Structure 1
Amino acid sequence: MPEDKKPNILIGAIDEGTSSARFLVFDVLHRKVIASHQIEIKQKYPHEGWVEQDPKEILTAVVECIRETIEKLKDLGKSVSDIKAVGITNQRETTLVWDKQTGEPLHNAIVWLDMRTTTTMEDVLDNIPNKTRNKNYLKPLCGLPMSPYFSALKIRWLIDNVPRVKQAVEAKRCAFGTVDTWLIYNLTKGQLHVTDVSNASRTMLMNIETLKWDPLLCKFFGIPQHILPEIKSSAEIYGLISNPNVLAGIPISGCVGDQQGALLGQLCLKPGQAKATYGTGCFLLYNTGNMKVDSTQGLITTVAYKIGKSSPIYALEGSVAVAGAALSWLRDNMELLSNITQSQNMAERVRCSGDVYFVPAFSGLYAPYWQQDARGVICGITEDTQQYHIIRAALEAVCFQTRDILEAMIKDSGTKLSTLQVDGGMTVNDLLMQLQADLTGINVVRPNMVETTALGAAILAGVGAGLIDINDVDASQVTKFSPLISDDERDLRYSKWKMAVERSMKWDCSTSLMTNN
C-alpha cells in the first residue's frame, strides 16, 4: 500500500518489562508512537539469587500508564475512541499465582532471572529414568533444556514451599499465569484466564508441536492442569477490556512475549532473519518459519508467534542473562560510573579494553553454555588497568556473548547471517553497536524508531482485530554499523574471550567445596 494512502489506525500496546511498565499508542501502519507513559517497577531481593516483584504493583503501574497516556492523547486533540484495539507484550517466564475466587496474589511474582529453583531442578533431575540427569530430557516435547529460568520449576517451588499456594492448589482455587495472563485476567475483571502460544512455550509445560498443555510434562513436574490458563494464538480477539474504565469496551486482540514481540516489530517475518534485543539481558531470535528446528548447540526452540488459525512460526533463541545488568553492577556495586548513559564516553577514553575480559556470569551462564555454576570473572588486569578498560570490557562482554549465540545459530541453521537487526535500550550506545559489528563480523542494523517490542504487540492486536494486514506496516528507517577490524583480530579477541569463559566455569561448585573443607 502506498505510504500516503495508509490510514491512521491507532492501536494501544501494554509493554510490561522487567524494570518498567509502559502503555504506548501507535499509528501502526506508519510505525509512529503517538503517545506513551512509563512507570518503573521495583524488584525485591529477599535472598541472594532471589528476584521478586509485587503483582499488585505491576497491575497498578499498567493501569496508571494507561490513564496518563490517554490524558496525553487528549492534549494532542485525540480521544480514547481513536484506539481500536490493545495488545500486550511482557517479560517472560516470570511466574504469578493467585486465588481464583478473590483475585488476590498468593505470593510475589518470581521474576524470570530468579535462581532459587536451582535446588528444585536438582531434585527434578533425579526423577529422570536411569538417573541420567540429562538436562535435555524434556527438550523433544517442550523445546527447552532444564533450567531455573523457565516457569515450571518456579511453580513447583511455590507449591513445595508456600503453604498458601499448596492449599489453593488442593482446593482448586489456584490460578497460574505469566505476566500477560495476570494482566488480561485483571483487565477483564476475572473473566479471562488465558495466555498465548509464545508465552506458553516458555513454561516447559506446553508441547512445542501440538501447542497444548502436555499431560506428560505436567505429570513430570507434578503440576495440575487445572491451574493453567487456556492457550490462545498471538493474534485474535480474547475479550473486551472492562478495567480501567477509560479503555472499557476496547478489544484485547494481541499477546506475545517481549522477545517475540521485538522479532515482529523488527518485521523479521521470513525464515533466516534475526534480531537481538539489548536490555537487562540480551535475547537473540532467529526466525525458522513453520519449521521447528531442534538445536544441537545449546539454543532453545520456541514459538515466535501464531496468527489466528494459521500455522505457528518458530524460532531459535539464545539468551544472555547479563547485558545492561553488567553496567548497572559497575554503577551500583563498583561505583565506576554514576550513570549508565556515561558508559560510551567513559569507554571511549581508552582505545581498547587493554586485553581485559569481563565475563558477567553473576548467576550462571545461559545459552549456549547453560552452566548454573559459572560465576563472574575479570581477566587480564595489570597495573595499567583503569576503570575505563573495565567499562569497555563490559560492553565487549555483551558483544562476545552475542557472538557465542550467533555461532551456535550458524551451526544449527547452516546459514551465516549477513545482518543482525537490533533494538532495546542499550542500542542508543553507538560504541556498543560498532563493537558488536566488529566482534561478530556482520552488519548491525538499528531502527530509528526503537519501540519495536511494543510495536510487535500492536501489530498483532491490529491483525487479530482484523484492522490491518501485517505486510502493510511501514519498514523502518535504519542506522547501519559495519565491521571495521580484520578477521584475524576479531578471532584472536574471541579466542581470549573463550579462555575467560572457561575460567568462570564450575566456580560455585569449587567455592562450596572449599567452604566444606
Structure 2
Amino acid sequence: MTTVLAIEQAATATKAVVIGGTGRVLAHSTVRVTTRTLADGGMEQDPVEIWHGVRAAARKAIGQAGRRIDVVALATGGGSVLAFDPASGKPLSPVITRQDRRAAGICQELASHAETIAEATGLRLSPQSTAPKLTWLRENLTRDGVVAGLDAWLLHQLTGQYATDAATASRSLLVDLDSGTWDPRLAAVFGLGHEPMARIVANDEVVGEADAFGPRVPVAGVILDAPAALLAQRCLNPGAVNVTYGAGALLLTNLGARPTRGELTCSTAWRIKGARTFCLDGQVAAASSALSWLVKVGVLDRVDALDDSCAKNPGGTVFVPRFDEEGGARLAGVDLSTTGEQIVSAVVYGIAAAVADLYDLAGLKEDVLRVDGGLTKSACMLQAQADLLQIPVAAYPGAYPTAQGAGVLSRLALDRTATLERETQAAPAQAKPVRPKWSADQATAYRDRWREAAGGLRPALVMSAAA
C-alpha cells in the first residue's frame, strides 16, 4: 500500500504529514515560517528558511512514522512569488507573500484592463494574485533569473523541474480559463511577455523525483490547498461546497466541467485524467484574524479558548468582518448592557453571516454544509453557521484535509487504474453534523440586522487562493 509524504506549505508554517495506504495519518510535523512586515505594506519571507523548514518537517515526520515513503505530494497556498536561478535553484529575491500589498499600484495602473483580464481568466484583478506581484518584483527587485510562484520554486528544489500545477496556474491571472494554458496576451498586459513560464502539469501527474528526504521517490499530487481540501471533503459532484475557516473564510464550490463567467468568478479546481473540474471561489476576509483582534484588545483570552467566552446569543450586537481593503470591520448594537461574551458571540455570528451571504449569492442548496479549518474546533462557530444557514454543518473529522487531498492525487498518479471515488473513500468518515437551534424567523431577523449594519460592504465572490 502507498505511503505518502504530503507537504503543505501554508502562509505561516510548513506541515509534513505521512499518510498510510488506508488514509490514516501515521506522523506529522510542523515548522513555523517567519514573516517580515514592512512599513510600505510589504510582507516577505526567507526562501532558504522555508526550504530548511520543509526538510526539517519532512524528515521528522518520516522518522516518527518509521517507514519508507513511496511518493511526495505538495500543496501550497498560492499567491506567493519569488525570483530564482533556473539552473541552480538559488533564490534571487525574498518570497513576496500573498498578503503583500505593494502590487496595489500595479493593479491601479492596469485598471483599464480589468474587464479583459476577468473575461480571459474568470477572475478579478487583485494585488493578492500572482501576476501583479511578479510585475512588481521585476520592476523593483531584480531582472535576473525567472519569476514564479513559491510552488514552482519548491518543485524545482525537489525535482529540478520548472513546473506548476493546473489549479495554482489558473489563479495567476496569466492563464486562459477556457484552454487552461498560459495566455501571451495576459503576459503582455502585465509586462511579462518575455518571461519563461513554468510547465503546467496535471494534478495527478508525476512531476519528477526527489531525494531530499531519503531514497529517491516520485513527486506527484501537486495542488493548491483549497481544492485539496475540497477533494478531502469528497466534494466530487457539481454543487458540492466546502468552507475553510482560516485567517479568513473561503467558500469553494465544485462547478463540474463547465466554467462560468460574470458576477460569479471561477478557476480550475483540478485537472485529473486529462479533464478539468472548475470551482467557484468566495472569500470573507476576516475569520480567525477577527478573533485574534479580540485577543489583542482584551475581550478574548485566546482564540483556542473561544467557546469559554462565547455567549449562546449575541443579543442585539452585530459584527461585520472586513470584506476588502477599503472597508473596515463594523461593530453595531453595543450599549452599556453589552457583555464581552456577547461581543465575542457577535464576531462569531458575524463571520457566519458573511459566509451565509456568500452561500446565498452562489445559489447553493446543500443538505449539509461541509467545513474545515481551525475554527471548526469551536462548537460556537459551528452552531452559529448552522443557525444562520438553517442547515446542518459537518466539520472535517481529521486535522489535515489539505494533506489528505494531495495524498489522494499522488495515489492517482502512481496507479492509473485508481479513481477519485475510490481513493477519497480512504478519508475519515464525516463527523456528526451540528444542527440549527435557531428558528428560521430568528435567523432571518439576525441576518437582516447584519445586512443593515453591513450597508455597502456586501461580500463578493472573488478569487482567493487561500484563507
Judged with a 3 Å threshold, the aligned counterparts in structure 2 of structure 1 residues 359 and 108 are, in CA distance, closer, same or farther, namely farther
Asked if structure 2 preserves the Cα contact closer than 8 Å seen for 1:176 and 1:229, the reply is: no
Deviation at 1:101, TM superposition (A): 4.1
Question: Corresponding residue for 1:178?
Answer: 149
Deviation at 1:386, TM superposition (A): 2.5
Asked if structure 2 preserves the Cα contact closer than 8 Å seen for 1:419 and 1:444, the reply is: yes
The 5 Å alignment of 1:73-92 reads: 73-74=65-66, 79-80=67-68, 83-92=69-78
Deviation at 1:99, TM superposition (A): 2.6
Residue 266 (structure 2) pairs with residue 301 (structure 1): yes
**Aligned equivalents of 1:262 and 1:143: distance in 2?**
21
Residue 42 (structure 2) pairs with residue 71 (structure 1): no
Residue 268 (structure 2) pairs with residue 276 (structure 1): no
Deviation at 1:91, TM superposition (A): 0.9
Residue 388 (structure 2) pairs with residue 402 (structure 1): no
Three-state SS of the structure 2 residue aligned to 1:479 is coil
Question: Corresponding residue for 1:232?
Answer: 201
Asked if structure 1 preserves the Cα contact closer than 8 Å seen for 2:235 and 2:242, the reply is: yes
**Aligned equivalents of 2:56 and 2:100: distance in 1?**
27
Aligned residue identity for 1:287? N
Residue 283 (structure 2) pairs with residue 319 (structure 1): yes
The 5 Å alignment of 1:366-385 reads: 371-385=324-338
Residue 133 (structure 2) pairs with residue 154 (structure 1): yes
**Aligned equivalents of 1:500 and 1:447: distance in 2?**
32
Residue 19 (structure 2) pairs with residue 56 (structure 1): no
Aligned residue identity for 2:291? L
**Aligned equivalents of 2:92 and 2:340: distance in 1?**
44
**Aligned equivalents of 2:221 and 2:80: distance in 1?**
19
Residue 107 (structure 2) pairs with residue 121 (structure 1): yes
Question: Corresponding residue for 2:343?
Answer: 390
Question: Corresponding residue for 2:462?
Answer: none
Three-state SS of the structure 1 residue aligned to 2:17 is strand
Question: Corresponding residue for 1:353?
Answer: 314
The C-alpha deviation readout for 1:329-362, integer Å capped at 9, x for no partner, is: 222x313233211111101xx332232222232x
**Aligned equivalents of 1:90 and 1:136: distance in 2?**
28
Asked if structure 1 preserves the Cα contact closer than 8 Å seen for 2:243 and 2:370, the reply is: yes
Asked if structure 2 preserves the Cα contact closer than 8 Å seen for 1:359 and 1:376, the reply is: yes
Question: Corresponding residue for 2:35?
Answer: 43
Deviation at 1:53, TM superposition (A): 1.8
Question: Corresponding residue for 2:465?
Answer: none
**Aligned equivalents of 1:316 and 1:406: distance in 2?**
11
**Aligned equivalents of 2:330 and 2:40: distance in 1?**
18
Aligned residue identity for 2:127? P
Aligned residue identity for 1:470? L
**Aligned equivalents of 1:205 and 1:161: distance in 2?**
20
**Aligned equivalents of 1:390 and 1:153: distance in 2?**
38
Aligned residue identity for 1:460? L
Deviation at 1:47, TM superposition (A): 2.0
CA RMSD of aligned residues (A): 1.8
Residue 182 (structure 2) pairs with residue 187 (structure 1): no
Asked if structure 2 preserves the Cα contact closer than 8 Å seen for 1:273 and 1:286, the reply is: yes
Residue 11 (structure 2) pairs with residue 34 (structure 1): no
**Aligned equivalents of 2:350 and 2:81: distance in 1?**
29
Question: Corresponding residue for 1:220?
Answer: 189
Q: How does the TM-score come out when normalised to structure 2? A: 0.93
Residue 174 (structure 2) pairs with residue 205 (structure 1): yes
- Structure 1 gap ranges (5+): 1-7, 129-134, 169-173, 366-370, 506-517
Aligned residue identity for 1:175? V
- Structure 2 gap ranges (5+): 459-467
1:14 to 2, 7, 10: 7
The C-alpha deviation readout for 1:81-125, integer Å capped at 9, x for no partner, is: xx2212111111122222334433232222222222222211111
Three-state SS of the structure 1 residue aligned to 2:116 is coil
Aligned residue identity for 1:357? V
Deviation at 1:203, TM superposition (A): 0.6
**Aligned equivalents of 1:400 and 1:424: distance in 2?**
17
**Aligned equivalents of 2:243 and 2:312: distance in 1?**
26
Q: How does the TM-score come out when normalised to structure 1? A: 0.84
Three-state SS of the structure 1 residue aligned to 2:272 is coil
Three-state SS of the structure 1 residue aligned to 2:325 is coil
Three-state SS of the structure 2 residue aligned to 1:243 is coil
Question: Corresponding residue for 1:334?
Answer: 297
Deviation at 1:295, TM superposition (A): 4.2
Deviation at 1:145, TM superposition (A): 1.0
1:502 to 433, 455, 459: 455
In the alignment of these two chains, the number of paired residues is 454
Question: Corresponding residue for 2:463?
Answer: none
The C-alpha deviation readout for 1:109-168, integer Å capped at 9, x for no partner, is: 22222222222211111x43xxxxxx4432121110111121111111112222xx2x31
